[in-house]
Structures are given as C-alpha cells and as structure tokens.
Structure 1
Amino acid sequence: MFTTRRPRRLVIGIAAGAVAALGLTACASGTGDAGDSADVSEITVVAANSPWVEGLKTLGTQYEQETGVKVNIEAYGNEQLNDNYKVKLNAQSADFDVMAFQVQDVMREFSRNGWLTDMTEQVESDADWNWEDFQSAARDAVELDGVVYGVPVMTERQIVYYRTDLLEAAGIPVPKTLDELKSAAAALNDPDNGMYGIAMRGSRVPLVTQLSSFLYSFGGDFQDEDGNASVDTPEAKKAYEFYGDLLRESGPPGATNMGWVEASALFAQGKAAFYIDADSQAYTFLDADNSAVVDTVGFAQFPEGPAGSKFYNIVPQTVGINAFSKKKEAAWEFIKWVTNEENTKWLLANETVPGARESAWNDAEATASFPAGLVEIIQNVGDHGVGHDRPQLEQVAAAREIVGGPAITAIEGGDVAEAAKTANTQFQELLDSEK
C-alpha cells in the first residue's frame, strides 16, 4: 500500500488443536443453531475485496494447518456483497458463517432484521484476547444500542496532507488549528499560477464524510444525543460556513463538482498546498508513477477547532457472524484468532492493513512500511477519534443528500443559516420516518 511489501512472516497466535466451544447466541430474531460441535471441518467467510481479504488468504491456510478447520473465502465488490447478503439473509441462509460488512452502511438494517449475532459477551469476556486494545472509536463504531455486532478489522481517519516544500519556503509552520489552516491556505493560494491553497471534496454527497470532522471540531454533529437532527445548531452552522469559506476562498474553481478522485488528483499533480481527506489515500501520493509530490508530501493530524481536534476514525470493514450460521462457535474462534494481537501486527506489516489494535500501531516492526508521520497520527488517535463520518440511520444515502446541501450553499457564498434550517427539517422528517 505505501511501500513495497517486505517478505512475509507468519505470526500465529493459537496453539494447534481443536476449536474450543465458547457458545454464541444469535440476536433476538435470529434462528441459527449455536450448538456446533468441536468436529467442525470448515467455515465460510464472505467479505468485500480489500487488503484484509488478501491477507486472509494466507492466514486462512495457516489456520487450517493449525486447527484442521478449512477456511473458505468468498470476496465481492461492495455493492455486490450487500446485494448478496440481503438475498441470502432474507432467506435465513446458513451458507456462510463469518460475514464482513460496512458498519455505517448496513449494520442498522442488518441488526434490525435479526441477521447479525450479538457478540457482546464474547468480545468482553476474553481478557487474553483483550477487547480494550482496540481503539475506542472503532469499538464504538461496531456497537449499536449497547450490542456489539462485530470486530473491526480495518480503520480509516481524516488527516491533513500538505506540501512540506511550500510551507518551508513560505516560513509557515504546519497548522495546528483550523484558523491556522485557513490562513496558511490563503497565503499559499496562487490561482494565477495554477496553485491552490487547498483541495477538498466539494460535491454535495461525497463531501459529507469530510465535512464531519469539521463539524465535530466545532462542537457539532449530524444528530444530537437523542438521535434528532442537529445540523442547524450554532456549532453546525459555523462548521458549514468554515468549510465553504475555505473552499471558496482558497480552493480550485468548480469545487462543487469535485469528489475525492478529482481533489486528490490536484494534490498529486502538485497543484494544491493542502489536501484533507482519508489517510487511506496516502499510497496515492507515495506512488512515483502517479504522484508528483512523493518527496514533498507531509502528514498532519486534523487541526483543532473550538471543540478541539475531533476527526472521524471509522471502520470500513468489520467481521461479524451470520445469525443463521450453524457454526457460530467455530466462527467466533476464527474471528478471535485472526484479530488477535499477533495476527493484526502481521496484517499491518505484510499487507499494510490498518487494523484497530493500539498495540499493533505501537509496534515499530509492524508499522515499518508506513510513513512515520501517519503512524504518529494513528498512535495519538485517543479521544480525538469519532466512530462515524456520516448521519447514523438506515437511509444514510438520502441523509447525505440532505445534510450536504448547506455545505454547497456555503461554498457558493449563500445563506447558510436558512439552508441549514431547511436541511434540519428535512433530515428530521427522514429520521422520523424510520421510527
């Protein structure tokens, strides 16, 4: 992902032998039999194509050698995966046991339908496996109404990418606050010479996830503690205005048509001083075949706003258990093994899979393939991380369309307060429709 992979070194954290029975129970409306016996010979894992799945192919072979349990892996694109799940789970299919899914897109729907197994007792009762070692934001992300539905296997954060050479030449320190970022972007903005102060997503729906960290750092959120719409609070309106001002005053023309592809391309071409987006894009800027900033890109934590530095720290993929599986105990044993500390470190080192365990990120050997600046940011996630980057409801696509509206108004220099009021009313109606 970031550099050429080092030679593989398998680190296995389980003794040879039969799979122990730990006893999982399905969530209330699930009907799967939890009583699988110790003679389970194979389990099936279904997941989205990802670096984690690539690493799983190697670890799965080793797991079979150690336990005698064969691991069948089925991988799909995200949309195909979700469509496949809905068809099979609606039919209460037991064709697969371990299921990887996107927390923010489907967990609410799947849990409501009784398709996911309640894993709360399992993750919290095994001291050696150590649930507390997982980043707090990642743990929060896989929990809904006090129930844990999976174990996070990949994480992603919003960070600041910047041009080290431009900041050094201008004598500008790396911004620590949002106000400093705004000033630095303005100082380095030179559109007449094809250089822009900052590049970010400006398209209505794609920008929502990147707006989120600004929203949190101003003290707001998409919803309040009771789950009601809150995009018209004073804090939210200030966040919208700041985001819009930043792009309008120091961003490229046509920003409202830019998603991450277009915005990241500007930075990779050396045409922007700052770029703010997910840390998963770091490989783009470190690839000499596709980047003009390989030697000049720096990484910084999301700057502090009035409420501090609060950035999303989400889980793009988590692993849970099919509520209709007949092999729940065996499924948990595999999940516990593949997500233990040693194998998380192996995945980080050999497949550059950004796992959720703090111990892995604090291991110098495991993080050797990652840029030091990025590792430092992740090591310091702590209380800065927020486990969601979009509204929290089932109809998330419709919600993003609504809450992205005031940001477009802000970028265009319109009446943000009125746009936020309208969006809040529409968003609340959407939330009420789910009750």
Structure 2
Amino acid sequence: MTRTRRRTLAAAGLVAVTALAACSGGGDDGGGDGGDGTDEAGGSITLWIQEDLPDRVAATQAIVDEFTAASGVEVELIPVAEDQFDQLLTSSAAAGDLPDVIGGISLPQVRTLSANELVDTDAVGAVLEELGADTFAESAIELTSDGDTQLAIPSESWLQLLVYRTDLFEAAGLDAPTSYEAVLAAAEALHSPEVAGFVGATAPGDAFTEQTFEHVALGNGCQLVDEEGEIQLDSAECVEALDFYGNLIQNYSVPGAQDVDTVRATYFAGQAAMFIWSSFILDEMAGLRDEALPSCAECAADPAFLAKNSAVVTALEGPGGSEPAQFGEITSWTVTAGADSEPAQQLIQYMLSDGYLPWIEIAPEGKVPVRLGTSDNPTEYSDAWGDMEVGVDRKAPLSEFYGPEVLEELGTGPERIARWALPQGQGDLLGALQGEQPVATAVNDVTQGTPAEDAATEAAEAAREIQESVS
C-alpha cells in the first residue's frame, strides 16, 4: 500500500464516522446561554489541548478550574502531544468519542478537521459573533476561515525565526542574514570544525522540517500551489529554495539528520552561528528553563549569554522573491461536530476573554495575541502581552535580554504571517500534506546529495497525488 493510499483511507475513515460522532457528542447535555461563560449552567464537556508539557498543562487546568467555578460547567482536560494528534483524532472519531472543544490546534489541523466535517461551524460562528471579529487581527480571521465560514477561533501565534550570533557576526564584519546571499556568505565565513555556519531541520517525515523549509521557501516566491490550485513545488523558485537549503546543510552544517531537539542543542552548545527555530526558543535561550538550558562555554558563568549575543531575522528574502516573507503559525480553538454546543461555546468565549491573558502568560514568547483587545479597549491584550514575563523556572521580561526591535517584530508578526495554500483556497490540501510530509522528504533528500530539481519533482508528484485524494 502506498503512502498516499494510506492517507486516503485514513481521510475516508474520518468522513465515514462523522455521523457517529455527531450522534454521540463529546459531553453530557448541559444548560447555559452561550453568552459570556459566567452564567451558572452546569453540564460536563471534554477539552483537548495541544500543550502536553506538565507546567503548561497545570497552568491550563487552573484557568479551566476558574471557568468551572464561574459557569458551573465541569471540564475534563486532556493534553495531547502534537505528534499524536492525528492518530488520536482518527481513533476518537471512529469511536464516536470526540472532545467537545479542541484548543491549540494549528492551521493545517483546522483544515484537517474541516475537510472531514468534524467542526460545528455554526457554534464557531456564534462564538466569533459574540467576541467581535473586529477585535482580532484581520489576517488571523482570514487564515482560520473558509470563505464566509469560520472554522476556528484564532487565539495566538508564534513566528519562525532565524537566530544568529551577533558577537560572531560583528567580529567577522558580516551583515545581518536577511537574504539568501547574506545567509550563505555568513555560513561560509563562520563555518569551522568548532562552529557550524548553520543548523536547521532535515529529519524526513517531520513537521518541523516542513515548517523550516516553508519559512525559507516563502521568501524566494516558492508557493505550494498557484492561484488556480496547481502544485508548484517543482517551480524554479522552489527548486532554487531547495538548492539553497541543501547547500547550507551539506557544506556548512553538522552531520546527521537534525530535528527540533538537536538543532536547538547544537546552538545552545555554542556550536552554530545560525539556526532556525520558533519564537518559543527565546525564554530558553535566556536560561529561564532548566529542562532546556544553554550549555555553551560562556553560559556557565552567564546562562543568558546566548540571548544577549543573539538577534533574530523574522523575514527572509531570496533572489526569486519580490519581498521578504514570514512563516508563522496561528493556533486556535474550535467546537467539534456533535459537541455539547452551548457549554463548549462558553468555554471558548472564556478562554478568549477572562481566561485569555492567563492563557497567554503560560508562554508569552510563543503566544503572541491575535485577539488584540475588546470592543471597549481595542489594544488591551496586545498591550498586556508586551509587559509579560517569560520563563518557567525563573521569570523575567524578554526586554531584559532582547532589544526593542525584537519585541516589535514579534508583536507585529501576526499581521505579516504568510502560509502555503491558504490564500489560494487550498487549505484542505495543506492539512492532508501533514500526514505524508513530501516536502520534509524532499528537504532530507537534498541534504543528502539528491539534486534539488529531482527532489522537487518527486515532492510535486506526491503532492499532486495527495491533492487528487482530497479533491
């Protein structure tokens, strides 16, 4: 059985069980008025969140407990690891046991749920109407909707960043790595047996590899599909982006497949001049989390050494691009098909109002608000975010380690987020690709010597097969 065939069967299975899920629902019947989440209602619902780190789960539980105290709605909180989400979704849908609410879901996951008719769009639309669409970043609403149908309520965003060692760049007289040309020049100048010029994800079948490459590719004008929905992974722009990334890894990086953990570990050890990671790295790089402490030689005396000697580039530009581009993710809340709708709506409304700032405070460096404020105070939440402390075992504001330009880039980043397929109305394809990861496979291939044109052709063919399976 081919990979595409397996993916098609999985999708078909989800669609087949939708009716069962709709009949069973995710929670007990409950009252409530679907309003602001504070009226006594009773009932019981189930919530999945993609926050499986113990400290974040505990913080979420505290917020949920406050909601229960205010509303009378009991909530069973179930943390789900990102790499187990699709499997658990499939098995739960097949068993007619979906949760009522899912939080922290990515844009591709929103599209996967939508494609398999697992979203109660009427309930989601009612939540957005209650909160006010005009209180959200416009791009966030667009990326979480299908035409006029809202699929999820956008909550927060994180940005993909190219992080670089300012001390090494300054000593070598190098420009900031904002373009393909500048990145290659810096990688070549700084690469040595002790310090790699660049480290980035290469592991096949890994979403982090796809995200890293999409960030790089967007800046070169490489798109997954064109305006007509035709696959473009074998375009000249995408071939050039693959060739650029393969060159970096083959000639200026470390040996072996690299994933989210090894990329971070190499930079934290002081063994790389540049790396690509999400904005979640910022508190860890400042030495505020014991489970991910920098280990460079200088870090023994000052755990924040790397943060103080690093800067970020949010948007890259390649020779084939018309302007720099920024990859990022918007995470959202949604009500599932067959959910106990009214208490589910109440919970999401609470998480985007009374519970919003406590939720953002769990990890402000990776939870930049996309609900900027309320109708009465349009910048209430975005203003509060700028003053929040980050960290786990120790707390401090990002401004203690990073300059104002970094904070400004993070705060305004959600309005600049670009993504493959969504602007072209191909969100279902984006969700389907997450199971197969043909782009991550192509990235791994070029880093092992496969010509970029060949890897791009194979990825494009795989994407076309997947597109046919979901059309």
CA distance in 2, matches of 1:133, 1:91: 37
CA shift in 2, pair 1:351/1:43, >3 Å: farther
CA contact (8 A) 2:163 2:274 kept: yes
- Residues 361 and 389 in structure 2, CA contact (< 8 A), matched pair in contact too: yes
1:400-419 matches, cutoff 5 A: 400=437, 402-419=438-455
Match of 1:302 in 2: 315
The answer (yes or no) to whether the contact 1:162–1:275 under 8 Å persists in 2 is yes
Equivalent-residue separation in structure 2 for 1:347 and 1:243 (angstroms): 36
Please report how far the alpha carbon of residue 42 of structure 1 lies from its aligned counterpart in structure 2 after TM superposition: 3.2
Q: Contact 2:267–2:274 at 8 Å: present in 1 too?
A: yes
TM-score, length of structure 1 as denominator length: 0.79
Change in Cα spacing, 1:350 to 1:302, as seen in structure 2 (3 Å) is same
Which residue matches 2:12?
A: none
SS in 1 for 2:233: coil
Deviation of the 1:61 alpha carbon: 2.3
Q: Is the 8 A contact 1:164 1:296 kept in 2?
A: no
For 1:311, the equivalent position in structure 2 comes to 326
| Contact 1:166 1:273 survives alignment (8 Å) | yes
Q: Contact conserved, 1:30 with 1:114, CA < 8 A, in 2?
A: no
Counterpart residue identity of residue 309, structure 1: P
Aligned residue for 1:117? 120
Within 5 A, what are the aligned runs for 1:21-36?
Answer: 30=22
2:158 & 2:420 partners in 1: Cα distance?
10
Q: CA deviation at 1:154?
A: 4.4
Aligned length: 398
Q: Counterpart of 1:160 in 2: which secondary structure? A: strand
CA shift in 2, pair 1:104/1:72, >3 Å: same
* Aligned-CA RMSD value: 3.3
Q: Give the Cα–Cα distance (whole angstroms) in 2 for the partners of residues 398 and 66 of structure 1.
A: 39
Secondary structure at 1:308 match in 2: coil
Query: How far 1:63 moved relative to its partner?
Result: 2.2
Partner amino acid, structure 2, of 1:167: F
Gaps of 5+ in 1: 1-25
Report the equivalent of 2:411. 379
1:282-315 CA deviation, whole Å, 9 max, x = no partner? 3432227531253133231233333322122113
**Aligned counterpart for 1:344 among listed residues 352, 356, 372:** 356
CA contact (8 A) 1:137 1:387 kept: no
Q: Is the 8 A contact 1:151 1:320 kept in 2?
A: yes
Q: 1:415 to 1:47 in 2, by over 3 A?
A: closer
Counterpart code for 2:68 = E
Equivalence for 1:21: none
Match of 1:107 among 94, 107, 110: 110
Counterpart residue identity of residue 71, structure 2: T
The equivalent residue for 1:285 is 285
Q: Which residue of 1 aligns with 2:215?
A: 213
Q: Deviations over 1:305-354 (max 9, x none)?
A: 33322122113x432112212x31221122112112x6333333355461
* Partner residue, 1:228: 230
The one-letter code matched in structure 1 to 2:205 is V
Q: Distance in 2 between matches of 1:434 and 1:389?
A: 14
- Give the equivalent residue in structure 2 for 1:263: 263
1:251-306, Cα deviation, whole Å (9 max, x unpaired): 2233xx11222222110100111111222233432227531253133231233333
Give unmatched runs, 5+ long, in structure 2: 1-17, 33-39, 373-378, 391-395
Could you say which residue in structure 2 is the equivalent of 1:5? none
* Alpha-carbon distance change, 84 to 183 in structure 1, aligned in 2, over 3 angstroms: closer
Give the SS at the match of 1:272.
coil
8 Å contact from structure 1 (residues 361, 378) kept in 2: no
By how many angstroms is 1:158 displaced?
0.7
How many angstroms does 1:64 deviate by? 2.9
Q: Distance in 1 between matches of 2:362 and 2:204?
A: 37
Superposition pairs of residues 37-186 of structure 1, within 5 angstroms: 37-38=31-32, 40-44=41-45, 45-48=47-50, 49-50=52-53, 53-78=57-82, 82-93=86-97, 96-100=99-103, 102-104=105-107, 106-118=109-121, 119=123, 121-126=125-130, 129-144=131-146, 146-186=148-188
> Does the CA-based 8 Å contact 1:349-1:365 persist in structure 2?
no
Q: Distance in 2 between matches of 1:226 and 1:120?
A: 29
Kept after mapping to 2: 8 A contact 1:143/1:149: yes
Letter in 1 for 2:350: W
TM-superposition CA deviations, 1:346-382 (whole Å, max 9, x none): 3333554614324434433236745244532221215
Amino acid at match of 1:70: E
Q: Is the 8 A contact 1:103 1:141 kept in 2?
A: no
Structure 1 counterpart SS, 2:355:
helix
Please state whether the residue corresponding to 2:273 is helix, strand or coil. strand
Structure 2 contact 433–463 (Cα < 8 Å) conserved: no
> Any idea what the Cα deviations from partners look like across 1:380-400, whole Å, max 9, x if unmatched?
215431246999345424541
Quote the sequence identity (%): 17
Task: Give the secondary structure class of the aligned counterpart of 2:178.
Answer: coil
Task: Give the deviation of 1:47 after TM superposition.
Answer: 2.4
Q: What's the CA shift string for 1:70-91, capped at 9, x where partnerless?
A: 3332334345554444344334
- 2:7 maps to what in 1? none
Distance 1:72 1:377, change over 3 A: same
The structure 1 residue matched to 2:466, chosen from 391, 407, 430, is 430
Contact residue 165 and residue 296 of structure 1 kept, 8 A: no
Aligned equivalents of 2:212, 2:271: Cα separation in 1: 20
**Which is worse superposed, 408-417 or 112-121?**
408-417
Tell me, in whole angstroms, the C-alpha distance in 1 between the residues paired with 2:104 and 2:252.
37
Q: Which amino acid aligns with 1:295?
A: F
Partner Cα separation in structure 1 for residue 448 and residue 43 of structure 2: 57
CA deviations on 1:158-199 (whole Å, 9 max, x unpaired) are: 1021212212322334333332222222221122xx111111
Q: Evaluate the alpha carbon distance shift between residue 67 and residue 418 of structure 1 in structure 2; reply closer, same or farther with a 3 A threshold.
A: closer
**Aligned twin of 1:365:** 387
Moved more, 38-47 or 85-94: 85-94
Deviation (angstroms), 1:201: 1.1
SS of the residue corresponding to residue 275 of structure 1 reads strand
Q: CA offsets per residue over residues 38-90 of structure 1, 9 Å max, x none?
A: 36303322323256643332222222333333333233434555444434433
Going from structure 1 to structure 2, the CA distance change for 1:178 and 1:241 (only over 3 Å counts) comes to same
Separation (CA, whole Å) in 2 of partners of 1:389 and 1:156: 19
